[in-house]
Amino acid sequence: MSFDVVVIDYGIGNLYSVRRAFEACGANVVLTDDPALIVSAPRLVLPGVGAFADGMRGLIERGLDSVVREYAKSGKPLVGICLGMQMLATVSMEFGEHRGLNLIPGKVVRIPSTTMEGAPHKIPHIAWEALVRPDSIQTWDNTILANTKPGATMYHVHSFTVVPDDDAHRLADCYYNGRQISSVIRMGNVYGCQFHPEKSGRAGLALLKRFLEMS
């Protein structure tokens, strides 16, 4: 079987919109929970929506948590989307403390319910937000954001955010009423996107096309 990208089906997530977006980029896409297909993937996507504990349970019950960790060691491109990004972290504080995949060390915490000035703002954070390159990152060349310009807007919808242990793992941020949000994180070949590229128009498709160019 020849394919360009595998999207993990673990019983939770926005599988079909992700597949359609990759297909719109010309990719041959496989949705599967088959470990053999996952480890043989040239590129791997961990999608997800919903609660962190439910997502990890879906992976663990299928024995896919260890498969994803093993894949990450291969050096091949891996991207987590929305909840999938959060599950790359070490631990989440959503409805208790839950262990993640620990592929990008860090903690998933609730977005503060107030602005930097103390005024209340809406949670979940639902907005098209501009991507900002952190001061610690010189360029997006040779990354999943190589086809993306700073200031490009992406569709975010979430109540929790990843705080990496090392700020060098923040590839792109956005700001919600002054609150710093990790929009893209990266450690080696492993990436996470908090926003939904499959719902982010041309800018989102440009990111997916770049992912398909990576090897």
Catalytically annotated residues? 82, 196, 198
Torsion of CA 26, 8, 147, 145, to 10 degrees: 180
Cα 197–chain centre separation: 9
Helix (H) or strand (E) holding 92: strand 91-92
Question: Tokens 């996107």 identify what position?
Answer: 193
Nearest Cα to Cα of residue 208 among 9, 8, 1, 29: 29
Q: For residues 59 and 57, what is the distance between their CA atoms, to the nearest angstrom?
A: 5
> Within 13 Å, how many C-alpha atoms sit on residue 120's CB side?
3
For residue 99, CA distances in Å to 30, 143, 183 come to: 28, 27, 21
Q: For residues 41 and 189, what is the distance between their CA atoms, to the nearest angstrom?
A: 14
- Per-residue DSSP letters for 150-161? TT-EEEEEESEE
Question: Tokens 């490009």 identify what position?
Answer: 152
